[in-house]
Structure 1
Amino acid sequence: MTRIVVLDDDRIVRQYIRATLEKTEGEFQLAGEASGGRNGLALIEELKPDMLILDIEMPSMNGIELLAEMERRGLKIKTLILSCHDEFEYVRQAMKLGAADYLLKHKIDDKTLLEALRTLREKPITMYAPDSGINNSEEKSKQFGELLTGKMSGEEQESAFRQFASDNQITVVCVAEIDYLKAFIWKNGKEQGAELEKKVWKKIRTTPIQECKSYYYRAEPGYYAFLLVFGELPVSRLETRQKLYNIISNYVAGLTRECQVTITAGISEQILGGKRVKYQWFHAREALERKFYIGCAHLIFYEEVGVLKENEEAMNLLLDGLRGQAMNRQEAVLAVEELFENIRTAPMPLNRFQKFFYIFLNILMQMISRMNLEIEDIFKNVDFVNEALETLETFEDYHKWFLDAINSIFDAAQKAAQGGVRKEVAKAIEYIRENYMKEISLDDVAKYVCVSKTYFSSMFKKEAGQKFSLYLLDFRLEKACVLLRQGNKKIYNIAYDVGFQSHNYFNNIFKERYGMTPKEYRKRYR
């Protein structure tokens, strides 16, 4: 049944339309009628009809004024215009404002009227012009935000839903986030961060999303919600997914180009009508949270994400191992790798990961205390915890941070045991860390730190506790172990990646150091 409101100041025309609709035996139903534009607007908001038959010339508010007001209020209804010969300019204006068809009053008969209504019923609702500015107004943005965040009563929500989408339109909610915005603020200051975010938000509000009607809401700086309303989408689920991916990725690519940022987005399921927009909002946010494991600059569909849960028993065993009193660097690094591999295999919810972060942080503090070290000797600043929470966004960010923390602790312990390392040796070690994948010779590093080769060799062995060549070899082997425990990269590629020029030499030296081949090591520790 299609519910229709008729607005015409001619009583005879209204009676005729009523009688014609009654002949359809329920296919079309007269939901209400009025003789003036103002009364008609109130009736439309109250009854929320499927279609509107509208006369151009009416008292108090004519048809053009009524359509403009409906557009301002976000009321989008399939509209059939009733017109006279000399009102063609009015009809043109009405079509621009979203009216879908028109009939000349003196040519109306039962067949013509019903055919026009049936044709109109099958048409998608005409979208507003993308550059009209209506969708991105402050009022609409505020209303969309109140709808998402539950600040409306049930009655208000029901009315708001229909202002964004009719029951036969398809809605999708997308939640987007500027990647590493907090890291940018930490590095460049709040003022520059605010300027960057302001630039992105302005671009969002002034850039239409193609092929749909869109509304935007700024939940917090750098975190935005989009409501996309489509007249229709492909029937095939795969085609729908591909179309959404193309539309949203093109839009995000434009933001990235213009604002010099990367953006990650979570995309909800597709639903008819706007009544489940709040649930789509929750689902889009849940999809976006998977950015933590998937990484930045991705589009993540809600239908593709699974339930997160971790192996609690395995986690506790690994954490207990890290709490052990006697661990060398290699054992500690291996424990961290196993811990993160366990989480990667069975991802945990983010709130659980935050709890894990603080447990692990406590373990680091215990290690620092046991070794009689000072935090300032290990981390660049005493605010390192806040810096980590503000600048790390993905699982791999935290993985790298923990490994760096472990290595920093053992570097500080080694330095303390040797009574402090000379600046030339410290600079040489830093050079190794940054260039281990390249060819490095004792002569190269001696020149880099501005001392003679002979003097540097003697000084390095005294300060670092081993010859330069052995230190470099150990460092490369540690990096190789990390790569062997991660991913499926070919072993000979790993050898070259960490600076070995011969695959066979790498295999031989690895077995000599660890008592097993790289292949056996990978099989045991993955």
Structure 2
Amino acid sequence: MNILIVDDEPLIRESAANHLKKAGAHRIYEAADGLEGLQAIGALRPDLVIADIRMPGMDGLELLAALKQRNDDTLFVLLTGYDRFEYVQSALHLGAFSYLLKPFAEEQFTELLAKVRETLERQNRAREAQLRQSIRLHQGTVWMRRRLAEDLVSRRLGNETAIRKRLAELELGTRFERGAHCIIIIALDRYRILSGSLPSDQIALIRYGVENIAMEVLERRSVDALAFDTEDGQGLILSYAPSPGGKSADTDTDADADADVNANDEMARLAAWAADIQECIRRYWRQEVTIGISPPFRALTQSAEACEAAKQALLQRLVRGGASIYLSEPGAMPKEPFKGIGFRVEQDMLAAFERFDTEAAQSIIQSLYEPFISYEYVDQASLLKLNFQLILLIFKIVERWNLEPTKLLGDELALYEEINGMSRIETIKQTFSEWIDRCFEAIRREKDKGSNRIIDKAISYIHEHYSEDVSLEMVAEQIPVSPTYLSSLFKREHNENFVEYVSNYRIEKAKLMLREGRRKIHEVAVLTGFGNVKYFYKVFKKKTGMRPSEYKDL
């Protein structure tokens, strides 16, 4: 619950906020006077406003009157002192929800919040019941009109005669023969989050609410509309009278030339309607939407092409962001469609993984999506193809490291659906980057495990055969790994190379035998793998700082 406190006295605002927090409220905002409060109400859309009756500039009663003039039904509570109770009657007459008397008591706020919560819940239940009743009452007609719209945008109804017949059956003939049509598509920006957290009937209710608001806005402008469902929102086929002197997009006869109007002006009019729809959805349903608009067209047989244009316009939110209105821009086309990731990119990505070069892998992701951003045009088929191929490539690379990508990242189809449901290309890139980081980390852990196993085997072999002629190649062959890789592991894990490790181990064994005193020095040299006594003396003196004979006599 969002609560706004409007009072010109800071101590009063602080006291009210503290009481509200004790009563269980959390999202509390403040404004210092009526004008500031009016602006805050527009920005915050609070559930409850608590305002002092007497304030400089715009007082509480004037603020309440301004809200009622806007048809704003936000719950409004007035603050007043005992000596100003005469104002309460005026406040209640204007439609105030309640009032609070100064000085405050904690019980007042507890009781107030209980009443507010009960009222909000009752309003929500009533709103939902009203919507459900509307759905039931108009279900038949709405379904038939929706089916007509779906047939038009899916090319199942491309004959002008058949279209006129269907319009007549639904008593829409004259309303959809007014000269101009357009398609707008309204997408809920948080649809993916909503569909993952709300039951299907509530999602359907939100969809219906969006459609109902759009229909009401258009009706006020004498625009008729047929609705159809889209993947994450609603589509509307509009029928309206062209602006004075205007024409629809496909009128190019001499007669129409005299009545021509700047196409930008006509699109601006459509954008203004869409902006009104967007604002009303934001105000009444508290949802952000993005709207794509097709160019105007004359014949309903062109509905399918116009629908694709509106969808294409809507896709620009992947690049430019949501909560916006996008007009169809047929000229904004990529230089060439996406042909596929290609062998070279696959090899570059594989090489990045083999080098554990995260930065190079991220750079490849950036370069693959850059064309969609630089052209400010999103070709959906190309984007879906890229998403799919990139997921396959990551799975392929992970499997090469003997890891299971489904355990690491999830089901392939689920990932594809997740990435395709995102509303920004930046979000898509970030998600792929996170997946790649996860893969790098898993591969690194697996490689470290493998490295430890290899080192353990090598050391075990050296300890068992140190008295023999042990070489790097011999040990590598026994594991088996390449000599170069084994050498690098020794250097990394023990901070010394293979030869140094073997030599140091032999010297430690020689020192042990010399301390025991049972063997002669040349026997120790042979038993520890040195063979040559002179070489043994040289290495022993270098490692210990004394000759074997000196060490033996210690």
**TM-score interval for Structure 1 and Structure 2 normalised by the shorter chain:** 0.3 to 0.5
The two structures have a TM-score, normalised by structure 1, of 0.47
The two structures have a TM-score, normalised by structure 2, of 0.45
